């Protein structure tokens, strides 16, 4: 089982597309350790935490204390324990990366490549790229396979391929992108068409580097190709069960975007998960989205993500049109890439995907 620990809503940056309502709340040690006790109380052998914010590294002491405590509990049961952390990278240093190595924390860096200074800024509006340069080297020296995630405002839709190429040339090989999904983001037909052209360019870029010694792994395409070949859904939303979210005050919610909404409260780290609330939320999320009935690519689309739907439309079953258009475009170009690789006889493509389908 996994918990997402929302260590704080606070952040040292003020990115242009941030949806987080920043506030001073921080999870204290008592709540974090109680979350740990609760996680292990379910008796699973495989457990994990996602360390999330705001910026999780603002709570470094709590992270270190919690993970040491979790490691002891895990040792007692002889289990497996894994952590993920998404960070803006500003507070990364060698000491923390040594700690991450020791505790097997997979770090994902949010970085917008050539758009970093425009989109990801300090609170005084200054760009962050200079501060991040040494952090990138440090991170990649510890975790060469670290994932980097870039986000795009609608006005920068035409710079997706350039950004992926920049990140690849900077040393990242596992790259993901997402678009600004805030309800107020102004996606229109024109910038969606531009995005589609960018994914066509990414087909070429991924093909060019697919069999190189350091392959470019564009994770958006990879997940769509894999889901086609193995016949499994691209994501399965087991809302409230897969990855409950713990707020800084120790209250439990079904997932990130439901945090602090009393309609979705599922208990707290001291009294445990309210099984009736969890069941109600889980089954509510399993109802199909009426607008997707009969869609040929339904299994490969991320429309199941209750969080995304809820944050954009206020209804976990109502898929925003921009999400539908975006998923169609991604799937079309993922298929375009798979066709190119298959037809060219790419050795890595046959190795990675050859046993599926």
Q: Which of 248, 246, 243, 227 is nearest to 297 (CA)?
A: 227
Per CB under 6 A, does 313 bind ligand SF4? Answer: no
Query: Least Å distance between CB 30 and ligand SF4?
Result: 24
Query: Least Å distance between CB 169 and ligand SF4?
Result: 23
C-alpha span between 84 and 3 (Å, rounded) = 11
CB-nearer residue toward ligand SF4: 74 or 256: 256
Q: Which of 8, 88, 198, 311 binds ligand SF4 (CB under 6 A)?
A: 88
Contacts of ligand SF4 in 210-239 (CB under 6 A)? 235, 237, 239
Per CB under 6 A, does 295 bind ligand SF4? Answer: yes
List helix spans (H) across the chain: 29-41, 60-77, 94-103, 116-119, 129-142, 160-169, 189-209, 219-230, 275-286, 306-313, 321-344, 347-353
CB-nearer residue toward ligand SF4: 175 or 330: 330
CB-nearer residue toward ligand SF4: 15 or 246: 15
C-alpha span between 341 and 353 (Å, rounded) = 11
CB-nearer residue toward ligand SF4: 99 or 122: 122
SS (H, E, C) 183-245: CCCCCCHHHHHHHHHHHHHHHHHHHHHCCCCCCCEEHHHHHHHHHHHHCCCCCCCCCCCCCCE
CB-nearer residue toward ligand SF4: 55 or 268: 55
Q: Is the dihedral of CA 208, 212, 218, 221 positive or negative?
A: positive
Q: How many residues bind ligand SF4 (CB under 6 A)?
A: 32
Per CB under 6 A, does 112 bind ligand SF4? Answer: no
Distances 87 to 4, 65, 84, 97, 169 between C-alpha atoms, Å: 14, 18, 10, 12, 21
Centroid of chain to Cα 71: 24
CB-nearer residue toward ligand SF4: 97 or 306: 306
Per CB under 6 A, does 38 bind ligand SF4? Answer: no
Per CB under 6 A, does 55 bind ligand SF4? Answer: yes
Query: Least Å distance between CB 212 and ligand SF4?
Result: 31
Q: Which residues bind ligand SF4 (CB under 6 A)?
A: 11, 13-15, 18, 20, 53-55, 88, 110, 235, 237, 239, 242-243, 255, 291-292, 295, 297-298, 301, 303-307, 319, 324, 327-328
């Amino acid at each position: 089982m996994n918990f997402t620990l929302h260590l704080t809503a606070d952040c040292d940056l003020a990115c242009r597309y941030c949806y987080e309502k920043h506030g001073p709340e921080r999870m204290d040690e008592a709540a974090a350790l109680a979350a740990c006790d609760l996680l292990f109380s379910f008796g699973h052998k495989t457990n994990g935490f996602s360390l999330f914010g705001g910026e999780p590294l603002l709570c470094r002491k709590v992270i270190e204390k919690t993970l040491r405590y979790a490691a002891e509990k895990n040792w007692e049961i002889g289990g497996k324990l894994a952590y993920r952390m998404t960070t803006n990278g500003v507070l990364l240093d060698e000491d923390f990366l040594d700690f991450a190595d020791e505790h097997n924390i997979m770090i994902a860096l949010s970085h917008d490549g050539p758009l970093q200074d425009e989109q990801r800024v300090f609170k005084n509006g200054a760009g962050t790229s200079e501060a991040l340069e040494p952090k990138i080297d440090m991170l990649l020296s510890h975790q060469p396979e670290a994932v980097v995630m870039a986000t795009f405002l609608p006005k920068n839709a035409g710079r997706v391929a350039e950004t992926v190429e920049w990140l690849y040339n900077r040393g990242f090989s596992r790259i993901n992108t997402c678009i600004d999904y805030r309800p107020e983001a102004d996606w229109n037909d024109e910038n969606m068409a531009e995005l589609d052209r960018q994914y066509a360019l990414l087909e070429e870029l991924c093909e060019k580097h697919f069999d190189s010694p350091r392959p470019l792994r564009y994770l958006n395409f990879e997940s769509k190709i894999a889901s086609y070949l193995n016949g499994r859904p691209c994501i399965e939303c087991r809302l409230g069960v897969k990855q409950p979210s713990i707020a800084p005050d120790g209250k439990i919610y079904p997932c990130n975007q439901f945090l602090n909404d009393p309609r979705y409260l599922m208990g707290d780290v001291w009294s445990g998960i309210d099984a009736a609330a969890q069941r109600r939320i889980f089954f509510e999320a399993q109802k199909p989205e009426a607008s997707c009935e009969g869609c040929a690519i339904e299994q490969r689309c991320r429309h199941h993500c209750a969080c995304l739907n809820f944050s954009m439309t206020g209804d976990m079953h109502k898929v925003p049109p921009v999400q539908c258009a975006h998923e169609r475009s991604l799937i079309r170009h993922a298929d375009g890439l798979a066709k190119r690789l298959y037809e060219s006889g790419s050795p890595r493509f046959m190795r990675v995907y050859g046993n599926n389908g």
